[in-house]
Amino acid sequence: MDNPAFQQAIRRLRWQHWLHYPVQGLVMAGVVLLVGPRTAVGVTSEPRLATWPLLLLLVALLLVAGLVLAAFYRRMQPNLRRTPEGNMRFYQARIFLRNSLLALVPLPVLGSYVLTHQPFDLAIAGAMLVALGWRLAPTAATYQRWLLG
């Protein structure tokens, strides 16, 4: 892969990286804000509002899916016999999977918002996403370390 094409691919990868966190954050916040008023917090007399077993099942499924995807992420290794474009596509898929998993980190804070209704929780979740995006932004050096590692 020649240098201009490589730099363009890295720029495209960074653009997708920076777009991924806000989109997933907005989706998570939207789901939490939509589901929040329908959840039962505390003791409730209405059985249709008793959502704790469903929430526990959802957390368990999220953990299992996260473990399976994390195992898949670890197996995504470079291959120097593959074409440079193929390795870049593989790296792009790896970055997308990593971002998807790590963007779930603020989910407990968003869940706390359902219980407390404090806007500070939403701000903390947004700050966590910005910090993750800033810290894990892909560069040419990180791609080359992955390729040679």
Cβ contact 108:80 at 8 Å:
no
Query: How confident is the prediction for the chain on average, in pLDDT?
Result: 84
Q: How far apart are CA 86 and CA 77, in angstroms?
A: 12
1 — pLDDT class (breaks 50, 70, 90): low
pTM, rounded to two decimals: 0.80
Which residue in 38, 67, 32, 64 sits closest to 50, CA to CA? 38
pLDDT of residue 73: 87
Q: Residue 38 gets which letter from DSSP? A: G
Tokens of residue 124, six digits: 């903390």
